[in-house]
Amino acid sequence: MKKTTALLTALFLTLSLSSFAQKKNKKNAKADPTPQSQTIKPTKKSPFKKYSEIVTDEAISDDGLFVVHKVGDKSYYEVPFELMDKDMLLVSRISKIADGLGGGYTTAGSKSNEQVIHWTRLQNSIILRSISFDNVAADSLPIHLSVEANNYNPILASFKIEAFNPDSTAALIEVNDLFLSDIPALSGLSSNMRKQYQVRNLDKERSFITRMASYPENIEVRHDMTYNAAAPPSNSRSGTISMELSQSMYLLPEKPMQPRLYDQRVGWFTTRQIDYGSEALKSDEKTYIRRWRLEPKDPEAYARGELVEPVKPIVYYLDPATPEKWRPYFREGIEDWQVAFEAAGYKNAIIAKDAPTQEEDPDWSAEDARYSTVRYVATTTRNAMGPSVSDPRSGEIIESDIVWFHNHLRSYRNRYLLETGAANPSARTLNTPDEEIGEMMRRVISHEIGHALGLPHNMKASYAYPTDSLRSATFTQKWGLAATIMDYTRYNYVAQPGDEGVRWVRMLGPYDNYAINWGYRYIPNASSPEAEKPTLNSWIREKAGDPMYLFGGSNSFDPSSQTESVGDDAVKASTYGLANLKIVAPNLAEWTATPGEDYSDLEELYGELLGVWSRFANHVVTNIGGVYEEYKTTDQAGVTYTPTSKAEQVKSMKFLDENVFTTPDWLLQKEILSNIKPSGAVTAIGNLQSRILSNVLRKDRLERMIDNEALNGTEAYSMTQMLSNLRKGIWSELSGSKDIDAFRRNLQRAHVERLASLMTQDEKSRSDISAAARAELKAIQSSARSSSTRYPAGIVQNHLRDIDALVDSLLDTE
């Protein structure tokens, strides 16, 4: 019965729908006079154009990684389907720059961003994503799904597919908006620059794509970007910032280079990943060193210990803008590293070449990602840099561009005169001989190339050499001034008059050979980073205990890891350095005089002389509350942190009392001061003394002294002993009613103010530091109050009474 009812119901519905359809058709037939037999069903229009409609005979095309086209004012990419979701590196650089943009440290050739990208098809669009490798897990593991879900990659741009190429292997997209829109990830203007220059917007009408070139592994695009800005760095009336950007898109290797695990005992720049697929009981941070891919052409000869050329050497091209007379020194600076690579088993591993001329290669460009260059930049900034671009998957360095700033020569000439002039006659001039300037430039280029090879600064290397050895011609000519060129050991300021034949300028050292071997030597039969680790560790253990092979970055607490220092004894080195400065100071006016010129050079050199004196002082300050740091693993003997000895700290305080806090009369050269400024000597020296004093009284330094005393008792130089010694030195005049000159009065006021700052730094709780500072202030007040009556009426008595009142007010406020 139910089946019959269902069938009747279905028949009724069918008839009803049929009747409705017939009525509708009749209605439509009245409205449409076309007979049903002549009606043509419309076909769905394709969303894509024909390839020939877009890429016409007028197109300027270039074939390479992608085929690229310029058709009128529109630019197109053919994105091959076979390259979808492949890892590519997009490097953004400023190729031409507005004067003053970035304060002088941003230059033509400066990198503004680098990122891995993927081209992906999504229905009728092509998506450009920025890809991160910060968090990873093997795609064979279940947790890979979670890593992807919690690290969704941002979309930089979306493009409508306009057409397909003739064999349908690539999608044609218009890319004007990618390069002519203000996309932060591709821009040359940082957020800070936008604020500083009050940038309002990008003016598309004054922005253009000027060059597109496609090569087998990369695509290069140049585009002019013009911004409206209320406060541009130059040409302010224009209200405009214009720059030319270079975008290099580079196909990364299908198989990444095998990474090498980082060890903090050997200094390297690194790339980090969080590996969620690790067997560790947490997400495992993997740190890999950054290095070029060097593989031996002849592995068998390499395994026998023969020097072998790499499959692909590291090649640096000299900027065509480099002055001819400096090019030989730049080449030497690059190829100096060949010796270090020989220690790693390679010959001709790094090569310098002149850039090809326009006639030799019209497509050559310094911004082309295939080429590494040494750029010579016309700017007043005094600096040099050694940046590089690397594959974040493995740490493989893809290319780099060393930057030499034109005015950097002046810095080196000035310091050469100041730090070596006492014992080096050829340095006593503003017209340093070209061969000596060239030698300095060579070593700067070597230093920057070291960075581009993956090496950071190693400030511990200068401490490897005994200070007195730097006075030896035999030693310095063989070993240089430090164990590596990656230290900031620029000049030999220890050598004294009469030390004949010593080396004045830094050079590569034994640590450089060691580090390059550790990072670049090919380890056969090690098929993973973990498999390499025992061999790498054995190389470090072979050098354990030898200071020439230690690594240490710059920090504020380790006396053996300081910038601009030489030798293993800061007190001795600074004593030698000051002895030289005391010869330079009275001769500075004569050595810098140029007939017909004013005293601007003398003023500049005198200001830098004060800076050199301050550096020598601060090298000694680091001994106080100092802690030596030597990286170790748990299977090595000894400890990582060792406090500076009590005797060394006492000796350092004595040096500061005699050479820094005592008025430096030798700096008060009337022939200089009467020609450079109407006043200011008291303030200038006072400010330096005050800064050095503040360095001595740093809170973290005092905290280390407290820790040292708590752990080592009377063997430690205690904070209270140091504060007492400092006070007795700075206020020594009060013990005998000696005159207190203007420099000392300034220093004494600075002492009180710094102690007050220590006393009030922590308003909510008391500490040993605040208690000690309060006790020192009361001791100073007591001495000043009792001594003031022994001085006649005048500036000194006024000063002491003012100190008394100042401490009163500080203690009352507190």
Helix/strand/coil (H/E/C) assignment for every residue in 424-492: CHHHCCCCCCHHHHHHHHHHHHHHHHHHHHCCCCCCCHHHHCCHHHHHCHHHHHHHCCCCCCCCCCCEC
559: which 2 tokens? 């006396």
Does pLDDT of 314 surpass 50? yes
With cut-offs at 50, 70 and 90, classify the pLDDT of residue 43: low
Instruction: Tell me the backbone φ, ψ of residue 680, rounded to 5 degrees.
Output: 120, -5
For residue 93, what pLDDT band results from cuts at 50, 70 and 90? confident
pLDDT at 30 over 90: no
Ramachandran quadrant class, 239 (left: phi over 0; alpha: psi -120 to 50; beta: rest): left
pLDDT-derived band at 283 (thresholds 50, 70, 90) equals low
Residue 294 to residue 350: CA distance in whole angstroms = 10
Other CB atoms within 10 A of residue 497 CB: 12
DSSP state of 396: B
Closest CA to 744 of 755, 736, 732, 735: 732
Mind listing the pLDDT tens digit for each residue in 380-408?
666 666 678 899 999 999 988 888 776 67
CA distances from 784 to 722, 733, 751 (A): 20, 10, 13
**How many other CB atoms sit within 10 Å of the CB of residue 256?**
16
Q: Helix, strand, or coil here: 572?
A: helix
Predicted pLDDT at 321: 84
| Highest mean pLDDT: which range of 189-203, 283-297, 768-782 | 768-782
Answer yes or no: is pLDDT of 693 > 80: yes
pLDDT score, position 572: 98
Looking at the predicted structure, is the pLDDT value of residue 83 above 90? yes
Which residue type does 712 have?
N
The pLDDT confidence band at residue 758, using thresholds 50, 70 and 90, is very high
pLDDT digits (tens, 9 = 90+) for 221-233: 999 989 998 888 8
Cα 335 to Cα 317: distance, rounded to the nearest angstrom: 12
Instruction: Give the amino acid at 594.
Output: T
Query: Of residues 78 and 386, which shows the higher confidence score?
Result: 78
What was the pLDDT predicted at 322? 87
The most distant pair of C-alpha atoms in the chain lies apart, rounded to whole Å, by 132
803: pLDDT confidence band, cut at 50, 70 and 90?
A: very high
Which tokens is 272 given? Answer: 């980090």
Q: What is the structure's pLDDT at 191?
A: 83
For 485-502, the pLDDT digits (tens) are 999 999 999 999 999 999
CA 595 to chain centre: 41
CA dist list (Å): 577 to 424, 484, 650: 13, 21, 20
The alpha carbon torsion through 788, 793, 798, 803 (nearest 10 deg) reads 0
For the segment 655-673, the average pLDDT, to the nearest whole number, is 95
Lowest mean pLDDT among 17-21, 546-550, 623-627, 690-694: 17-21
Burial classification of residue 124, based on how many CB atoms lie within 10 Å of its CB (0-12 exposed, 13-18 middle, 19 or more buried): exposed
Closest CA to 388 of 91, 787, 40: 91
Q: By the 8 A CB rule, do 552 and 561 touch?
A: yes
pLDDT tops 90 at residue 555:
no
pLDDT confidence of residue 2: 40
Query: 10 pLDDT exceeds 70?
Result: no
DSSP state of 157: E
Residues 630-661: tens digit of each pLDDT = 999 999 999 999 999 999 999 999 999 999 99
Cβ atoms of residues 459 and 564 within 8 Å: no
Query: In the prediction, which pLDDT does 615 show?
Result: 96
Sign of CA dihedral 293, 222, 374, 380: negative
Does 16 score more than 60 pLDDT?
no
Which pLDDT belongs to residue 616?
97
Average pLDDT of the segment spanning 359-369: 81
Query: Rg (Cα) of the chain, in Å, rounded?
Result: 35
What is the per-residue pLDDT for 100?
Answer: 77
Quote the CA–CA distance of 189 and 205 in Å, as a whole number: 18
d(CA 714, CA 736): 31
105 vs 91, 246, 264, 749, CA distance in Å? 19, 18, 29, 37
pTM for the whole structure: 0.86
Is residue 33 scored above 70 in pLDDT? no
Q: What are phi and psi of 704, to 5 degrees?
A: -65, -35
pLDDT greater than 80 at residue 37:
no
pLDDT band at 341 (very low <50, low <70, confident <90, very high): very high
- Please report how many Cα atoms fall inside a 13 Å half-sphere around the Cα of residue 314, on the Cβ side: 29
CA distance 703 to 694: 15
Tokens of 768: 């040993």
Calculate the average pLDDT of the chain: 88
**Residues found in the chain:** 814
Instruction: Categorize the per-residue pLDDT at 808 as very low, low, confident or very high, splitting at 50, 70 and 90.
Output: very high
Report pLDDT for 485.
97
Torsion sign over Cα 165, 169, 174, 179: negative
Instruction: Tell me: pLDDT of 277 over 50.
Output: yes
Mean pLDDT of 356-367: 83
Task: For the chain, count helices (H), then strands (E).
Answer: 23, 23
Tell me the mean pLDDT in the region 126-142. 75
Confidence grade of residue 27 (pLDDT, cut at 50, 70, 90) = very low
**Pair of tokens at residue 92:** 């953004």
DSSP single-letter state for residue 270: E
Over residues 747-761, the mean pLDDT reads 94
Instruction: Record the tokens describing residue 531, joined without a space.
Output: 């498999």
* DSSP output for 663-726: --GGG--HHHHHHH-SS-HHHHHHHHHHHHHHHHT-HHHHHHHHHHHHHHGGGS--HHHHHHHH
Residue 146 banded pLDDT, cuts 50, 70, 90:
low
CA distance 787 to 782: 8
Quick one: pLDDT at residue 5? Answer: 41
CA of residue 756 relative to chain centroid, distance: 36
Question: Which of 369, 378, 379 has its CA nearest to residue 401?
Answer: 369
pLDDT in tens, 50-68: 999 999 999 999 999 999 9
| pLDDT of the residue at 13 | 36
Q: How much is the pLDDT for 39?
A: 46
Cα 205 to Cα 180, 223, 228, 444: the distances in Å are 9, 13, 11, 43
